[in-house]
Amino acid sequence: DGGITQSPKYLFRKEGQNVTLSCEQNLNHDAMYWYRQDPGQGLRLIYYSQIVNDFQKGDIAEGYSVSREKKESFPLTVTSAQKNPTAFYLCASSPTSGFNEQFFGPGTRLTVL
Amino acid sequence: QKEVEQNSGPLSVPEGAIASLNCTYSDRGSQSFFWYRQYSGKSPELIMSIYSNGDKEDGRFTAQLNKASQYVSLLIRDSQPSDSATYLCAVNPSDGLSTNAGKSTFGDGTTLTVKP
């Protein structure tokens, strides 16, 4: 059963803490993406990776970090430098050949207490 | 000007009517176009892809692409209350850079409400 999983579904963070959001896919996709979505807003790209051990900043990378050590995994760390991290975080993956449709995981809702 | 623009809505149609959602894009060389449906509190779900000028039909959904006018639309026939959601238009760039393969630009979405 192929797909994208994200964990946890809900995450609460105290101010000043770093937290890491998990994203795993078994679709054999080369590319993976992290987006942030605020209430009533569209998707904003944080980071993306087209290949293992390589990634690029998106439009709002400040305060976030990623790693891509395995093709299947693309974890996102929300650091204490991110001043307003409360949001819905979405991970997606796509092939890098063909039509490149993105498929999304179920999301992680992060709340800063 | 945003790269991908959608009417923010909300768009309200009665049950059984045709809902028409529109999207314009600025990159004339774009080749791949997608429609996603996002229910409140959930993640986006791909519902249509279109790559050639003209219409593409899938059940009650029809995607229309006009590259000359740089717009893509989604028609939902016989709208149902279960179609009530936000619809996101996404466009893939045409710059040919390998680092951008699959990297879509999303519109902000149009919220559709289908009233029983």
Across the interface, of A42, A48, A106, the residue whose CB is closest to B103 is A48
Show contacts of A77-86: CB within 8 Å, 24+ apart: A77/A18, A77/A19, A77/A20, A77/A21, A78/A13, A78/A18, A78/A19, A78/A20, A78/A21, A78/A110, A79/A18, A80/A15, A80/A16, A80/A17, A80/A18, A84/A112, A85/A13, A85/A110, A85/A112, A86/A110, A86/A111, A86/A112
Q: What whole-number distance in Å separates Cα of residue B61 and Cα of residue B70? A: 20
pLDDT for position A96: 78
A99 chain-B contacts, CB cut-off 8 A = 32, 49, 51
Q: Which of A5, A101, A108 to mutate to test the interface with B (most CBs of B within 10 A)?
A: A101
Checking if the pLDDT of B45 tops 90, the result is: yes
Chain A residue with Cα closest to B99:
A50
Segment A45-84, tens digit of pLDDT: 999 999 999 999 999 999 999 999 999 999 999 998 888 8
Comparing B36 with A42, the larger pLDDT belongs to: B36
Both structure tokens of B44:
């986006």
pLDDT for position B109: 95
pLDDT for position B95: 59
Across the interface, of B49, B92, B99, the residue whose CB is closest to A50 is B99
pLDDT for position A41: 87
Segment A9-43, tens digit of pLDDT: 999 988 889 999 999 999 999 999 999 999 888 89
Contact in structure between A15 and A112 (CB atoms under 8 Å): yes
Across the interface, of B43, B88, B90, the residue whose CB is closest to A107 is B43
pLDDT for position A1: 60
Segment A79-105, tens digit of pLDDT: 988 888 999 999 999 987 766 889 999
Q: Above pLDDT 90, what percent of chain A?
A: 76
B92 chain-A contacts, CB cut-off 8 A = 100
Interchain pair B46, A95: CB under 8 A: no
Interchain pair B107, A42: CB under 8 A: yes
How many pairs of residues across A and B have Cβ atoms under 8 Å apart?
57
In Å, how far is B30's CA from the nearest CA of chain A? 12
Checking if the pLDDT of B42 tops 60, the result is: yes
Mean pLDDT of B58-78: 97
Across the interface, of A41, A42, A94, the residue whose CB is closest to B102 is A94
Rounded to 5 degrees, φ, ψ at B99 are -75, -10
B101 chain-A contacts, CB cut-off 8 A = 31, 50, 96-97, 100
Q: b/e for A77-102, b at 16 or more Cβ within 10 A? A: ebeeebeebebbbbbbbbbbeeebbb
